[in-house]
A and B are shown apart, each in its own frame.
Chain A
Amino acid sequence: MMSNENRMTIDGAEVAFQPGETVLEVARRQGAFVPTLCYDERLDPYGSCRLCVVEVEGRRLPASSCTLKAESGMEIRTGSDPIRKMQSTLMEMVLSENPDDECPRCRDIGTCEVHDLAEKLEVGRERFLGAISNASKDDSNPFLLRDYDRCISCYRCVRICDEVEADHAITMTGRGWNKGIATAFDGGLMDSDCTLCGQCIYTCPTGALADKKMVGQGEIPGEVEVTRSVCPYCGTGCSINLHSRDGKMIGVTPVLDGPVNEGALCVKGQFGFDFVNSGDRLTRPLIRKNGELTPVSWDEAFDYTAQKLMSVRADHGPKAFYAIASGRAPGEGSYMLQKFTRAVMNSNQVDNCSRG
């Protein structure tokens, strides 16, 4: 019955699709090479880079597959010679928009969709040379580098800030060639609604946005290790990748398929890892003696703490005790703390800092 329903043809092969899927999604699932630059699966289809154009049987003009909904009986061709040629031209045009000097992002964490794609399409920055658009912004915030010399105006940053983070901190300004990315009234991120979550960095397909702490890392020799982990800050449990070299953390990147965060992080998880390698970090117990913090043995520290806690309970009752677990402590630690509060201190006053 209705054999044609929810089936279409991609490059000659008949395939099934789910209603609501776009041609781009179906084609990529089929293994077709359909390049994109303005596309991020977390965002609404936008259709601005036009690299994903495909031929649609019965239509005079190619269509952008990211915005085209799959329909029963559709016949799509993804990689014909004319399509590839236009994609290559488009890519050359994109490369011509920005200056040629080296880009920090490529060097520093080794990915840049623009340069990857240029390589794949085997084009360089040789033709269509002319004016260069956009300009770097001197932004004094501590985390985000905004180097719009490298921007290709895909507006993924604006869209992730709106659609995913709901912060609406940045916008596209101007029009045509004289477009740009700015906060309201074009100030710094710190004076805007930006929460410094850094998500714009990780959707940006170029080096226009970068983690200031990671800038320059590419020049340091030594293998960078990437370890998948869970953000220690709060109970949400966002997946993160820890980047380290020689056992020292150098940065965090979001995990796009993290089950709870799908690539989103907040400012703490994204940038707040300095404590790991901080010289101020406590490495052994200290007791203040005569006003000075003095290193002591673990036994002495335990005895001292136990004795103080017991005397608080004895003198003031269980209600005098209130425990707050650090959001940075592992779940097991938080469990132990509430057990201790209830069973040992007989208090039910226990909380976790990340509820605040």
Chain B
Amino acid sequence: MKSQVEVQDPITDRILDEWLEEPAPFLSILHAIQDHYGYLPEPALRRVSQRMDIPISDLYGTVTFYHFFQLEPKAIPDIRVCENSACCLHDLDQLCEEVAGADLGIEHSGKIEKISCPGRCDVPVPLLIGEKFLHGAKPGAIGEAVEATMPLPPETGQQECLFQHIRDGVSDLKVALEKGAWKSPLLAASDPEKLISELKTSGLTGRGGAGFPTGVKWEVVRNENRGPKWIICNADESEVGCFKDRVLMAHTPHALLEGMTCAGLVTGAEVGIIYLRWEYPEILESLQAAIDEATAAGYLGEDACGSGRPFRILIRRGAGAYICGEETSLLNSLEGKHPFPREKPPFPTTHGLFQQPTIVNNVETFCAVPPIVEHGGQWFSDLGLGEQNGMRIFSVSGDIQRPGNYEVPVGTPLRQLLVEFAGGPLPGREIQGVTMAGVSGGLVGAEDLDVRLDPASLDGLGAMLGAGGIVVHDDTRCMIKAARESMHFLKEESCGKCFPCRIGTTRMTEILDELGSGQPVREGIMEEIEDLEEVLGETSACGLGLAAPYITRMLKKYWPDQIQQKLNGSTQASEGADDE
């Protein structure tokens, strides 16, 4: 067979020699090759195929799945511009025109490539040139774009939990230790049952969107007797409007490492892997520095925290794919397989990475573990309002005075978050609606701003709380367009495996385009929407497709008048002129 012809590529061989003995090395190998050559040359991939025993066709197909693996050399980088909900509230056409010819301090080709949300909705519009981000590029004010820094969360003046020390410089190990960091793993090791019971008492549920009880998850993995087990931190954070994991990793990395170490010591896993989205290069660096520091100080390594047991933490960098945040797709991605989601069951707790028992938790979930160990499950639970447990972080962006991350008690009214903490709408404007869960949790209209931020309350409205991203739209916006942008993101990020989602998100986007166009629409378009909603919401194979109908259902619920206007053939946007 043709692929059996030996390929020579000493550089790639050296990279392979360096990585092949490491756990889940696939993504790191490809990144190392791309870092060296500027792209993934064919001979290098053929060499990887031979030595990793992956058929070259499969390897090629897998590489083409990701946004940021390149198969062609590109001497001078293009300018990549976020095209999603918070950023497209700005006039992106104008922005693109302006930046193409601008001196941005970094050499660029002047060509524009639109990308999905890189998790910087609080500093719109981010530009990505090579691996450097600029923040805050606004049409008409390109000069205001600055080199990226990671903003701290604005203060709420209320009690915080995960954010309690975040403004104190705890990314530095010494400061973190002064604030009580790295105490929990030893407790976890000495009494794992107690830790699991505290987690259960705390009511902590997964902060990645699905909301599964964390204590139960850890218990299942602890009780499995196969191994090696794995601890995986899902830091793919790719949903539009979500940037909470970013702030945690940037400013309180030891809380994350500590939480993961607890998981390792409770379950007997010896390796933790952080699956970090490609679009956080700054964090790749700072988080690795924190790992190195913690390892040097003995909190990680052969005798983690003095427990007598090994635990180490590795970072694996994604390559640009929202679906890789879905936990089984993430596992396939780590294993070097085509990153389609897997059929569930079996779940990762029993058949995770390399089919071994695996904890997959979100960054925020892990970060909540140390304070629960320190203060007890009941304490954490009591932080929630009423029946609710604990605190949650919400990423707020869009038409709002103080975009950023806010940690509030679960059950806090949406209005309080937006108006009291995030400063409310811009002067002279009113909030018309917000997106939920990022965007895949649908929309909530102004009339329901008093809804409480807990999963059940959002459910009651027909929306979804999800991973806590909220993009605010004020009264100048066309909500059909807002819905269209959300759907367009899901369409772009659908893995394409299952028919309802691949075709459904595409057709929905087209239909919303048609509705928003102001031109007469085809007959039966509302029935088409309804039928697509049904098929998407009932038959899709994973959460991406299943969530898609929230967007249109909530649009119809809160803004029937805007739709009716379009159906009547009116070219007028809602209450004001659409500022696009």
Contacts and interface: CB of A to CB of B under 8 A. Distances in A.
Interface of A: 37, 45, 47-51, 53, 61-62, 64, 67, 82, 85-86, 89-90, 93-94, 96-97, 127-128, 130-131, 152-153, 162, 167-179, 182-186, 191-193
B560 to A, nearest CB: 22
Contact of B60 (A89, A175, A182): A182
B528 interface: yes
A177 B59 contact: no
7 contacts: A94-B499, A96-B503, A97-B503, A131-B510, A162-B55, A169-B57, A171-B62
Contacts of B450: none
B2 interface: yes
Contact of B491 (A51, A61, A176): A176
Contact of B541 (A50, A153, A168): A50
Interface of B: 1-3, 42, 55-62, 64-65, 71, 321, 323, 338, 343, 491-500, 502-507, 510, 524, 528, 531-532, 534-535, 538-541, 546
Contact of B495 (A50, A127, A176): A176
Contacts of B499: 37, 48-51, 90, 93-94, 152-153
4 nearest A-B residue pairs (beta carbon): A171-B61, A168-B55, A176-B494, A171-B57
Contacts of A193: 1-3, 55-57
A97 B534 CA distance: 19
A154 to B, nearest CB: 8
Given A85-B534, A171-B58, A171-B60, 9 more contacts: A48-B541, A50-B500, A61-B546, A96-B503, A96-B507, A127-B531, A168-B57, A171-B62, A192-B2
A175 B321 contact: yes
A67 B528 CA distance: 28
Contacts of B535: 50, 86, 89-90, 93
Contact of B496 (A82, A130, A175, A182): A175
Contacts of A85: 531, 534
A131 B60 contact: no
B498 A50 contact: yes
Given A48-B499, A85-B534, A193-B1, A64 B64 contact: no
Residue of A50, A96, A186, A192 with most partner-chain B CB within 10 A: A50
A191 B56 CA distance: 12
A175 B65 contact: yes
Contacts of A171: 55, 57-58, 60-62, 338
A127 B352 CA distance: 40
B385 to A, nearest CB: 28
A47 B541 contact: yes
A128 B61 contact: no
A57 to B, nearest CB: 16
B156 to A, nearest CB: 36
Contacts of B546: 61
Nearest to A93: B503
A89 B492 CA distance: 22
B343 A130 contact: no
A178 B65 CA distance: 10
A174 B539 contact: no
B538 A62 contact: yes
Given A67-B343, A90-B539, A185-B60, A128 B498 contact: no
A238 B101 CA distance: 65
Contact of A47 (B55, B60, B343, B528): B343
A275 to B, nearest CB: 26
A26 to B, nearest CB: 18
Residue of A37, A61, A172, A185 with most partner-chain B CB within 10 A: A172
A184 B40 CA distance: 13
Given A175-B494, A175-B495, A191-B2, A90 B502 contact: no
A167 B1 CA distance: 9
B113 to A, nearest CB: 14
A177 B64 contact: no
Contacts of A169: 57
A174 to B, nearest CB: 5
Contacts of B541: 47-48, 50, 64
Contacts of A89: 531-532, 534-535
Nearest to A88: B531
A170 B57 contact: yes
B58 A168 contact: yes
B3 A184 contact: yes
Contacts of B532: 89, 93, 128
A96 B500 CA distance: 12
A172 B338 contact: yes
Residue of A130, A182, A191 with most partner-chain B CB within 10 A: A130
A67 B498 CA distance: 13
Given A47-B498, A128-B532, A162-B55, A173 B538 contact: no
A176 B492 CA distance: 6
B539 A184 contact: no
Residue of B61, B532, B546 with most partner-chain A CB within 10 A: B61
Contacts of B495: 175-176
A130 B42 CA distance: 36
Contacts of B62: 171
A183 B56 CA distance: 9
Nearest to B65: A175
Contacts of A176: 491-496, 502, 505-506
Contacts of A186: 60
B486 to A, nearest CB: 15
B55 A173 contact: no
A259 B60 CA distance: 35
B56 A184 contact: yes
Nearest to B530: A89
Nearest to B523: A127
B330 to A, nearest CB: 15
A177 B57 contact: no
Contact of B539 (A50, A152, A172, A185): A50
Contacts of A182: 57, 60-61
B65 A174 contact: yes
A36 to B, nearest CB: 11
B519 to A, nearest CB: 15
Contact of B57 (A94, A130, A192): A192
Given A48-B498, A176-B492, A93 B538 contact: no
B540 A179 contact: no
B60 A173 contact: yes
A21 B56 CA distance: 33
A206 to B, nearest CB: 13
